[in-house]
Amino acid sequence: MQAIDALTTRYSAKTLQEPAPDQGALRLIFESAVHAPDHGRLRPWRFVVVRGAARERFGELLAQHLQRTHAAANEEALQRERAKALRAPLIIVVAARCSRDVKIPVIEQQLSAGAAAHAMMLAAFALGFNAMWKTGGAAYDEALRQALGLTIGDAIVGFLYIGTPAARPAIAAARPWADLVSYWGEAT
C-alpha cells in the first residue's frame, strides 16, 4: 500500500480478530513508532505489548480500575471491562516517559508519543491489520500504570488494540477538511 493511501483511507475497524501481527510485522510497527517526530531526540516513548493469555490479566486490571473508581459497579460491568481486553489479539500500551529536566516542554514529549501511536496504527493498517486507539479512565490510573511496569510520571497516551478486521469496511463517510483550513495572508 502506498503511504498516501494508508494516510487517506485509515479507519478504525469495529471488530478485530486473529491473526495479530507476528514478530516481523511488529518490528515494522515499532520501526514506524520510533520515526515519530521527537524534539530533542529524547525518545520519550515506552511500548508495553500485551498478548495471548496476558490479555486476561490486563482485563483484570481494567476491572480493578472500575472497582476502585466506581464502588457500586456490579459483576456485569466488571465483566464488560474484562472483555475489553479480549477485543483484539494484541494490545500495545503507548506511554510517554517525559523528561522534566530538559528545555523541551512536556506537552511536546507527549505529542511525540501521540505521533508514535498514530504511526503504529498506520503501519498496522498498511500491513493489512487494523488498530483501534482507546483510552478511558484506566489510562490515567496510577495503579494500572504501575502494574504494567510503567513508572510514576509516565503518561499512557493510548491502548492500541491491534488485529485483523473481522469484516470489510463499509463505504467510508466523507471526511470534509476544507472548512478547517484557512489561508492566512492571501488575498480573497
Ligand X SMILES: Cc1cc2nc3c(=O)[nH]c(=O)nc-3n(C[C@H](O)[C@H](O)[C@H](O)COP(=O)(O)O)c2cc1C
Q: Which residues, at least 6 apart from 60, have a Cβ–Cβ distance to it below 8 Å?
A: 82
What does the radius of gyration of the chain's CA atoms come to, in whole angstroms?
18
Shortest separation between residue 151's beta carbon and ligand X, angstroms: 21
Of 38 and 84, which has the nearer Cβ to ligand X? 84
135 binds ligand X (CB under 6 A): yes
Of 30 and 159, which has the nearer Cβ to ligand X? 159
Q: What are the angstrom distances between the C-alpha of 174 and each of 40, 166, 170, 171?
A: 37, 22, 12, 9
Of 69 and 102, which has the nearer Cβ to ligand X? 69
Q: Which residues, at least 6 apart from 34, have a Cβ–Cβ distance to it below 8 Å?
A: 43, 45, 116
- Write the single-letter amino acid at 110: Q
11 binds ligand X (CB under 6 A): yes
Considering only residues 28 to 57 of the shown chain, the ones binding ligand X according to CB under 6 A are: none
- C-alpha cell of 79? 465483566
| Binding residues with ligand X: total (CB under 6 A) | 8
Binding piece for ligand X, criterion CB under 6 A, among 73-81, 99-107, 134-142, 146-154:
134-142
When binding is defined by CB under 6 A, the residue of 21, 59, 89, 158 that contacts ligand X is 158
- Let me know if 114 is exposed, middle or buried by CB neighbors in 10 A (0-12, 13-18, 19+): middle
- Whether residue 150 contacts residue 48, with contact meaning beta carbons closer than 8 Å, is answered with yes
When binding is defined by CB under 6 A, the residue of 6, 12, 17, 106 that contacts ligand X is 12
110 binds ligand X (CB under 6 A): no
Binding piece for ligand X, criterion CB under 6 A, among 44-52, 71-79, 95-103, 129-137:
129-137
Shortest separation between residue 47's beta carbon and ligand X, angstroms: 16
Beta strand residue intervals within the chain, DSSP E:
16-17, 45-51, 90-96, 130-134, 155-165
Binding site for ligand X (CB under 6 A): 11-12, 132-136, 158
